[in-house]
Each structure stands twice: as C-alpha cells, then as structure tokens.
C-alpha cells in the first residue's frame, strides 16, 4: 500500500506540471495584458511598463513559468493584481465560507439520496418507482437558476422565512445558509438518486444475488445487506470525486446570495482580469482532483478486500 501511494504521488508530478503549463500558456498567450486591464485602454506606455515590471510581467516567459512552478510547490501564489491581498490567505478564507455552504447539504443529501435510491430499487417496477423516476427526471430538466430564483421569491420574499441574501460568520450566520442548503439538497436529489438507483439495479443482476435468493434469503435482506455493500464502489467514486468541488462552493449560489466563497472570488477575478487568482485556483482544483482520485482508489481497497492495488 505504501509503495502504491508513493508511486501515485510521483505520477501526480507530471500531471500538475502539465496543468500548470496549460494554464500558464492560456493566461499569457490568449488572455489580455493584465497591466492594460488594470490601468485601462488609455494608460501611458510608461505607466504600463512600470506596472509590468512591478508584477514581473517584463521577465522572459520561461522565467515567469519557473516562478509559477515555485509558487505551486510553495503554495504561495503571490498577491492579487487588483487588491494586493496575499492569495493563499484569500483562498483559505473563501474556502472556509464555501465549505460552510456546501459540506452540510452534501453530507445530508448524499445519505438521503442513497437511502431513497435504495428504497426505489427495492420497489422497482412499482408505481413508486415510475412516479419517482419521472419526478427526478423532470427536476433535472429545470435550470439551477430557476430553483434559486423560485426559492428566493417564494420562501424568502413572499413567506419571509429566510433572508434573501447576505452572509455572517459564526452561528448567527446560519440564518443566511438555510435557504441555500435547501436549494442544494433539492437540486442534487434528481441526478444523484438516478445514479444510485441505476447502481443498485445493476447489482440485482449479479450472480451473488441469485445465490442469496437460492439459499432462502429474503428480498429485504439481499438488498439491504448484500447489494448495498457491493454497490459502495461506484457510490464512492461519485461521492469522493465530488469533494474537491465543494471548495468551489456553488458559483450561482454564492453570487445570488452574496456569499463570499471561492466561487464568488473566481467570478470576480474573471470580471476584473485578476489572473493570479484564476491561475492559482485552477491549479489548486487540479491538485485536489488528482489527490481525491488517489483517495478513491484507496477507499476501493478498504471497502472491498478483493480490489488489489498495483
């Protein structure tokens, strides 16, 4: 196991370097000149040259790329072009806000959706299965934006049950998170339950299910003891790979509810051309994704001893 983990970590190095190179090329060759974006179209050549020198943009591209790799290794992405804030401090603050928005509905939604998917699989072919499947497919066809606007209007504006938007740290800020939590849980229900239902139904066709029935096991025992356990690998894949994106929060949710998370930081950086933020977040997301891919493989071996890591 230790040798496998070390090998996988070493394999991550060229992946991260490749992502860094792609991000660097995109933001240096395709994007606008950050100095001109910051100073405007009517800036003097002297002012542009001074700002480029201050930001290190006058250095050769190979030197800028090496500096970028050093930033990645040291987890020090410099400062924002627009505000001058240290980016890692800004990312950490935004990540805590995004996690407060996403972790609770993610955990509650995952457990609830797995239970509902298993229940629907138990009653497969019944009126409950047909109605719930149609309902969840219909919910998936509705835009995320429609849910946000509708819930804000009905539950916050009309009913006055929640604040329309805003954010505060600490326990007092929970009042601003209840409505976003509800929306995230409702939106995730459709696609997640359909995936879990499909996984459980696929397991019902396996040989061990027929063997269990042949030995006289009841249908509920087969589903809740055997199928649920053997379906954990595809469920883990879906759940664990979703974890890195919790740090991003929900872009639209943070924007519409004025929540200053990582998603909101990234949108503001796109609007203002703050390239250090965009480059740093893109690479951090790539690193998180590769790390959780490794975590997923390790969980496979933990859940199912038949899985051999090599």
What tens digit of pLDDT does each residue of 75-124 get?
887 788 777 788 888 888 888 888 888 889 999 999 999 888 888 887 88
Backbone phi, then psi, for 265, in 5-degree steps? -60, -45
Could you tell me if residue 200 is inside a domain? yes
The answer on 191 and 220 residing in a single domain is yes
CATH number at residue 185: 1.10.3720.10
Decide: 233 and 303 in contact? Cβ < 8 Å.
Answer: yes
Span 142-147, average pLDDT: 86
Question: Is residue 242 assigned to a domain?
Answer: yes
Instruction: Report how far residue 64's alpha carbon sits from residue 58's, in angstroms, rounded to the nearest whole number.
Output: 9
* Gap between the Cα atoms of 57 and 63, Å rounded: 10
What is the mean pLDDT of the segment spanning 225-241? 80
Task: Flag whether 187 is in a domain.
Answer: yes
What confidence score (pLDDT) does residue 153 get?
92
85 inside domain: no
Q: What is the mean pLDDT of residues 24-48?
A: 75
Phi and psi torsions of 86, nearest 5°: -70, 130
Let me know whether 113 and 56 are in one domain: no
pLDDT band at 151 (very low <50, low <70, confident <90, very high): very high
Q: Are residues 118 and 53 in the same domain?
A: no
The whole-number pLDDT of residue 8 equals: 79
Query: 40, 74, 108 — which closes off a domain?
Result: 74
- 198 and 270 inside one domain: yes
Residues 265 and 166 in one domain: yes
The answer to whether residues 121 and 255 belong to one domain is yes
**What is the domain range of residue 17?**
2-74
* 246 and 120 both lie in a single domain: yes
Rounded to the nearest angstrom, the gap between the alpha carbon of residue 291 and the centroid of all alpha carbons in its chain is: 13
Q: Is 79 helix (H, G, I), strand (E, B) or coil?
A: strand
* pLDDT at residue 309, as a whole number: 61
- Tell me, yes or no, whether 79 lies in a domain: no
Q: Is residue 308 part of a domain?
A: no
Distance CA 305, CA 303 (A): 7
| pLDDT given for residue 306 in this prediction | 62
Residue 286 tokens read as 């790539």
124 and 31 share one domain: no
Across the chain, the runs of DSSP E, i.e. the strands, are none
Q: For residue 220, is pLDDT > 80?
A: no
Question: 278 and 155 in one domain?
Answer: yes
My answer on whether 198 and 162 are in the same domain is yes
Band (pLDDT 50/70/90 cuts) for residue 181 is very high
Query: Does position 30 have pLDDT exceeding 70, yes or no?
Result: no
Does residue 202 share a domain with residue 170? yes
Query: Per the structure, how many domains does the chain have?
Result: 2
141, pLDDT greater than 80? yes
CA triple 88-91-93, angle to 5 deg: 110
Query: Which of 26, 46, 74 is where one domain is finished?
Result: 74
- Tokens for 141, please give them: 């066809």
- Same domain, yes or no: 55 and 123: no
* Last residue in a domain, options 19, 45, 74: 74
Question: Exposure of 191 by Cβ count < 10 A (0-12 exposed, 13-18 middle, 19+ buried)?
Answer: middle
Residue 81 lies in a domain: no
pLDDT of the residue at 108 = 93
Residues 275-289, mean pLDDT to the nearest whole number:
83
Q: Which long-range contacts (CB under 8 A, 24 or more apart) does 208-215 make?
A: none
Tokens 């800020």 label which residue?
Answer: 173
Is 99 among the domain residues? yes
Check whether 183 has a pLDDT greater than 80. yes
How confident is the model at residue 249, as a pLDDT? 60
| Buried-state track 148-174, b at ≥16 Cβ within 10 A, e below 16 | beebbeebbeeeeebbeeebeeeeeee
The DSSP-derived string for 26-49 is IIIIISPPHHHHHH-TT--HHHHH
Token reading at 59: 């250095």
pTM: 0.80
CB 167 within 8 A of CB 173: yes
Res 112: pLDDT: 92
The whole-angstrom separation of Cα 47 and Cα 44 is 5
Whether 107 contacts 300, CB under 8 Å: no
Quote the mean pLDDT of the chain. 82
Measure the CA–CA gap between 223 and 215, rounded to whole angstroms.
14
Q: What is the pLDDT of residue 292?
A: 80
Dist. CA 122–CA 107, nearest whole Å: 23
């Amino acid at each position: 196991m230790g040798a496998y983990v070390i090998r996988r970590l070493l394999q991550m190095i060229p992946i991260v370097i490749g992502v860094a190179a792609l991000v660097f090329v995109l933001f240096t060759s395709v994007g606008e000149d950050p100095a001109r974006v910051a100073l405007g179209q009517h800036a003097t050549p002297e002012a542009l040259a001074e700002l480029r020198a201050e930001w290190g943009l006058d250095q050769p591209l190979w030197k800028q790329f090496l500096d970028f790799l050093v930033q990645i290794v040291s987890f020090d992405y410099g400062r924002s072009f627009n505000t001058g804030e240290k980016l890692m401090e800004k990312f950490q603050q935004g990540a805590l806000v995004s996690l407060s928005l996403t972790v609770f509905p993610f955990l509650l939604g995952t457990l609830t959706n797995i239970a509902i998917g298993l229940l629907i699989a138990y009653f497969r072919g019944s009126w409950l299965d047909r109605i719930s499947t149609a309902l969840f497919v219909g919910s998936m066809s509705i835009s995320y934006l429609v849910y946000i606007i509708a819930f804000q209007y009905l539950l916050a504006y009309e009913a006055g049950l929640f604040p329309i938007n805003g954010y505060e740290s600490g326990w007092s800020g929970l009042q601003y998170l209840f409505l976003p939590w509800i929306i995230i849980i409702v939106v995730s229900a459709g696609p997640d339950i359909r995936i879990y239902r499909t996984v459980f139904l696929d397991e019902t066709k396996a040989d061990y299910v027929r063997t269990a029935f042949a030995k006289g096991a009841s249908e509920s025992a087969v589903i809740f003891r055997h199928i649920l356990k053997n379906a954990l690998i595809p469920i883990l894949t879906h759940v664990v790979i979703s974890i890195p994106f919790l740090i991003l929060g929900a872009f639209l949710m943070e924007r519409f509810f004025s929540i200053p998370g990582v998603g909101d930081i990234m949108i503001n950086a796109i609007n203002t051309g703050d390239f250090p933020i965009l480059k740093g977040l893109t690479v951090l997301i790539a690193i998180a994704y590769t790390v959780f891919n490794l975590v997923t493989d390790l969980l496979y071996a933990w859940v199912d001893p038949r899985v051999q890591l090599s």
